[in-house]
Every structure is written in structure tokens, then in C-alpha cells.
Chains A and B, each alone.
Chain A
Amino acid sequence: MSEAKSSQDEEFREYVAARSAALHRAAYLLTGNWATAEDLVQTTLTKTYLAWGRIRATDSVDAYTRRILYNTNASWWRKRSNREKPADLVDDRPDASRDFAEQSAMRDAMWKHVKDLPKRQRAVLVLRYYEHRTDAQIAEILGISTGTVKSQASRALAGLRKRLGTPAAALGLSRRSEEAA
């Protein structure tokens, strides 16, 4: 292996060491499953390495990798989602009070709703509310217009509002009542 290639690989290893944990967290929020998040990150890093010679000296390595991560999830993932469903995490937080239990139930309901969202809406939520990106940055990463970012976010939030409008709704009580009736 040439010295230049070796040095390039070393830079890539350093980048992966520094960024892989953050990539995994974002991948988990996108996929809802740790094992598949690892697959997504591995695919993303493989694609990133293919372009490493071009992007390593630029300021946009992280933006490029993010773009690959989100777009790979949006496309490649579609095929797999038919046969592989994200596993629900077991919430082992203590049930110290009724308020906590209600809040916990609401957050579980929210997470379930986020996991059920269409991929693009989910990606917009993760980028906006977890990565704290601006709409312009989100548009750049996803390759869509800022108008689409706004409409996707708005639609996702509207769904959440509908689902979590009341604590009872969050707990699924209204649906059970309707079903019982």
C-alpha cells in the first residue's frame, strides 16, 4: 500500500472513530432498531470511503456523510422494511409516580408514532428536533426544497398532535373506548 493511501485510510479511521457514535444514534432514530442502525451506518461509511479521496480535504465531510446516511435510509431501507420490523425497546425506567407513568406513556406513544411515520417525514423530524438543523440545512441534506421540509414537518407534527392531543389519547384510551362502543 502506498504511503498516501495509508495516510488517507488513517484519516478515514480517525473520522470514523470520532463520528461513528453520533451516526449510530441518528441511524437508530431513523430505523428504530439498533442492529439495522449498525447496518445503515456500515453502508454509509462504505459509501463515504468510496468518495473519501475527493471529500477528505473539504469542510463538507460530515455533511456528505449525513446526506448519504439519510438518503440511503430513504431508499435502500425501503426494501428491507418489508421483511424486518423494528423491535420495540423495553422501557426499564422506574414507574415512580402516576404523572411519570402518564408522561412515559405519552413519550412511548410519541416514539411509536415517529417510528410509523413515512421515511421522509421521520428524517425531517430527526434532523430538526434531534440534530437541530435549520430547514435550509435539512433541504440540502435530503435534496428537497425548504418548502417540502416545512410541509413534511407540518404533516408529521399534525399527526402527532392528533395522536397525543390528550393524555387519554396518548394512552390509547379513546381508541379503546371507541372500539368498546
Chain B
Amino acid sequence: MNEDLEELLRAELAGRADSAPMYSGEGLADAAITGAGRIRRRRRIGAAAGGLGLVLVGAAAAVWLPFGDAALDDAPPVATSAEEAQSDLDLEFVVERDGAYGVVNVEGEYVPLAAERRPDAVQRLQTSYVVSSTRQVEVTALDGAATAQYELPVDQFYTTVSGDAEAFAVQYYEADEDRQVYELFPGDPQSARNPAVLDLALELNLEDWNEDLLVFSSDLVSVTGGASVPHYFNDQYDWGLETAAEAGYESVVVADPADPGYVCVADLDPGSLAAPDSEDCGYLDELGTADVITQASGDAAAAGLVQDVADSFDEEVAEVEVDRDGPTGAQLFDSEYRFVDPFGRWEIGFSAQDETWALLDLSGGEAVVSELRPPRGALLPVVSHS
């Protein structure tokens, strides 16, 4: 009976498959290429042919300016005052005055920073300014009343801000070990404490976190094929998730930007140096995945945090073409420094000796490039995450 049944099954499946309607497959590959392109699209700056700079901006600032639009091709650069930028774009400026550093906020008030070294970047969180300079990161309350300073073992590092803008992390490369280190700090200077330190493989990128959960991005699907089964990334690729356990985190979720929604969840033993046995992988829209994240994190908000990160990978973007042959357009693209508003309202480019900055204003119905006259002693704009 068994062989008969198997034979019948073979015949039935072959017969059903052979009853396929004629299918040309025309356009299938191109549709796949286009679909993959949509997935890959991320905010980035690129140079396009014909002297045009192509700016891709997030959906929040979706603007389409067709090639050859007179507003950008021919019009002379518009001037924007510091006051206009402050009121229209909520722009704040880092300034150096009388040998000290401070922030000129949107009200035009001067907030002193405790930074001893020239700031390379200043980011605004919910309650503070985070000032990055050589081997040091300093946190100053928005009113300047409290500060905290942290020394770092390297000259150069990158700063990442959590999605709720309540915390930040610095990331640097350990050349001897070919590893990366993340140090995670509270955004409130009054909560200053020793940072949580993570020693991780280079392929992990910190995307967001809270007290219990760390969310990273990495390539997963090329290893798992999208399977919803346990995998052993930490064991096989030496990810270093045991350092997250040691730092007190309940769980780590890694999301794949190439396949938004696919995640691997590591349930940690906080406070120990124990590596997770394996990671549970699957799609967020599968039954049970959110529960796995919630249970591993012990945090009802954890699944939402992971979903937000996955959604950010799928963010729609719009294209804005900017004439880069004009003086302001060239300054925007070719300058020494370039700053981009995380909310997509503006981009600024300038070099050290420039008296005016190039401002791309994306806040209105059209994209406008103008010369921005920064306030006296201005060093750079504050990048606000709040």
C-alpha cells in the first residue's frame, strides 16, 4: 500500500504541475530587479550625470523636483539668515566665542558647553546636547545646567542615537582584534554612569535599543535562506553577544535590511558572560515571533521597537535633483563638511573657511538651495534627534 500510495502521489503531483497554464515569464526578471532596487534604496547622496547632484530624502520630506526645474537650474542663490533658519527649520548652531564653546538655540540664547576641545559634532537628544570631540564625548543639559564627560580610548569614533533620543552610543574600531566596540551611555547628564560596553563582530550595526533590548542589523538571509528555525550565528561567526549579556541586556534582535521583517532573536542571561545557545529566526509577521521577542526581552515594548527598525529599512524615498554646477550647489556637494537633518528637513555643506554655508531646505513644498549666513563664531549645525 505504501509504495502504491507514493507512486500515486508522484503521479498526482506531476499531473497537477503539468496542468500549469502557459506562462511566459516575460518581465519577471525585470520586476525582481526593480523590486530589489526598492528594497535597497536608502537615504544616500549620489552624484548623477550632467552636473546634477541626486539627493534621496525620506518620506517625511518627500519632494520631487524634476530635472531642469527652473527654480534650481537658473535662479540665483537665495540668502537665508541664521534667524530664518532657527525659526523655520529649528536649526541650532555650535559656536566658539571668547575661547569657549556653546550652542545658539532656536530662541537665540547661548547655552555654554563644557567641552574643552573643539567639537567635531553635536547632537541634540531629548534632554541634552551630546558633543563629540577628540577622545572625548561630553553631555550637557539643554539649559546648560548639568554636564557629564566621558573619555574614550580612540581619537575617532561614531555616535549613534537611540530611536527615542534618550540615549547614545559611541562606536570605534579595535584594529588589533579586528572587532568593534560600542559604548552605550544615558542621554541625561544627571544619570551619568559607566557605559555598557559591547565587543562585537564587525558585521553587526547597532540600530536601536532600550534598557532590555539591543537591535542590530546584519545580513541574515544569505545564511539562513529565510528559514524560520534556530541558527547559531553567535557561535559560528563569533558575534560577541555574550558581552551584551554581561552588560545586562535581556536580549538581542538582529534584523536583515535586505529582507525587512526577517529577524533572529537571542535570549540572553543578563549579568552573566554566557553566550546564547542559538538564535531563533523568523519573520515578524509570523505567528509567535513577537511573543519570542517579548519573552526574551521581558519587555512589552520590545516587539514594537524591532518593528520600527524593520520598517525603517523599507522607508520610501523621494529624489531631488540639485544643480551642482552652481556655486551653492557645488558647495553643498563638494565641501569638507556635510550635515543632514535626521528628519529630512535640511542638508548643509561647507568648508572650514567658508563665511556662508550651502543650505538645502526640504521642509516646504519644494526644495530650495540657499546661502545660509550662520551666526558669529559658528562652527557647525546641531543635528537634532528630538
Contact = CB atoms under 8 A, between A and B. Distances in A.
B36 A29 contact: no
Interface string A43-54: 001111111001
Interface stretch (B7-15, B168-176, B336-344): B7-15
Contacts of A15: 29
B15 A107 contact: yes
Contact of B28 (A16, A34, A164): A16
B32 A45 contact: yes
B20 A34 contact: yes
A54 to B, nearest CB: 6
Given A21-B23, A75-B282, A160-B5, A49 B36 contact: yes
B74 interface: no
B1 A161 contact: yes
Interface in A26-71: 26, 28-29, 34, 38, 41-42, 45-51, 54-55, 64, 67-68, 71
B32 A129 contact: no
B236 to A, nearest CB: 14
Contact of A17 (B2, B25, B227, B228): B25
Nearest to A92: B19
A105 to B, nearest CB: 12
B242 interface: no
A64 B225 contact: yes
A38 B32 CA distance: 12
B5 A161 contact: yes
Contact of A46 (B9, B19, B35, B286): B35
Interface centre among B5, B33, B229 (most CB of A within 10 A): B33
B82 interface: no
A171 interface: no
B20 A21 contact: yes
Contacts of A55: 222
Interface centre among A16, A54, A126, A164 (most CB of B within 10 A): A16
Interface of chain A, helix or strand or loop or mixed?
Answer: helix
B178 interface: no
Contacts of B352: none
B264 to A, nearest CB: 13
Given A107-B8, A142-B227, A13 B259 contact: no
Contact of A143 (B12, B227, B287): B227
A125 B13 contact: yes
Contact of A157 (B2, B15, B285): B2
A12 B31 CA distance: 12
Nearest to A25: B17
Contacts of B35: 42, 46, 49
Contact of B13 (A16, A130, A142): A130
Contact of A125 (B9, B222, B259, B283): B9
B39 interface: yes
Nearest to B281: A143
Shortest 7 CB-CB contacts between residues of A and residues of B: A143-B227, A67-B225, A45-B32, A16-B29, A25-B17, A20-B25, A46-B35
24 contacts: A9-B33, A12-B29, A25-B20, A26-B17, A29-B13, A41-B28, A45-B28, A46-B36, A46-B39, A49-B35, A50-B39, A50-B258, A50-B259, A54-B222, A71-B224, A75-B226, A76-B283, A76-B285, A78-B287, A79-B286, A106-B8, A110-B12, A129-B10, A143-B227
Given A20-B25, A21-B25, A46-B39, 12 more contacts: A9-B33, A12-B29, A38-B23, A41-B28, A45-B28, A46-B36, A110-B8, A125-B13, A129-B10, A129-B13, A157-B5, A161-B5
